A and B are shown apart, each in its own frame.
Chain A
Amino acid sequence: MDYSNTQTICPFCGCGCALNLEVVDGEIVGVLPANDHPVGRGSLCIKGWNAHSFVQHEDRLKTPLIREDGDLREASWEEALELVADKLGSIKSEHGPDAVGVLASAKCTNEENYLLQKFSRAVIGTNNVDHCARL
Chain B
Amino acid sequence: MIQEIRDLVSEKLKKLDGVVALRKTDQGTAPTLFQEGDDVSQLVLEPRYPVAKTVSKLQKRFKDAKFGVVARGCDTRALVEMVKRHQIDPDRLYIVGMACSEEQAETCYCAEPAPDLDPWPEADLVGDPVPGAPPNPMVAEYENLSREERWDFWNQQFTKCIKCYGCRDICPVCFCDACSLEDPLWVEPGLLVPDFPMYHLIKAMHMTTRCVACRQCETACPAGIPLTVLYDLIRKDVGNLIGYIPGADADSGPPLSLTLADAPIDSELAK
Contact = CB atoms under 8 A, between A and B. Distances in A.
Interface string B1-41: 00000000000000001101001000111111101000000
Nearest to B61: A24
A34 interface: yes
Interface in A1-54: 1-7, 18, 20, 22, 24, 29-37, 40, 42-46, 48-49
B18 A3 contact: yes
A73 B224 CA distance: 49
Interface residues of B, number: 33
Nearest to B27: A7
Interface in B159-206: 162-166, 169-170
Given A33-B170, A49-B164, A42 B220 contact: yes
Interface stretch (B46-54, B99-107, B116-124): B46-54
A43 B220 contact: yes
Interface residues of A, number: 28
Contact of B65 (A1, A18, A36, A37): A1
B222 interface: yes
Contacts of A46: 162-165
A2 B221 contact: no
A33 B166 contact: yes
B58 A37 contact: no
Contacts of A48: 164
Interface of A: 1-7, 18, 20, 22, 24, 29-37, 40, 42-46, 48-49
Given A3-B33, A43-B220, A49-B165, 11 more contacts: A1-B17, A3-B32, A4-B33, A5-B32, A20-B28, A35-B29, A36-B28, A36-B46, A43-B219, A48-B164, A49-B164
Interface of B: 17-18, 20, 23, 27-33, 35, 46-49, 54, 57-58, 61-62, 65, 162-166, 169-170, 219-222
21 contacts: A1-B35, A1-B65, A3-B31, A3-B32, A4-B23, A5-B30, A7-B30, A20-B30, A32-B31, A32-B49, A33-B166, A33-B220, A34-B28, A35-B219, A36-B29, A36-B47, A37-B28, A43-B221, A44-B164, A44-B220, A45-B164
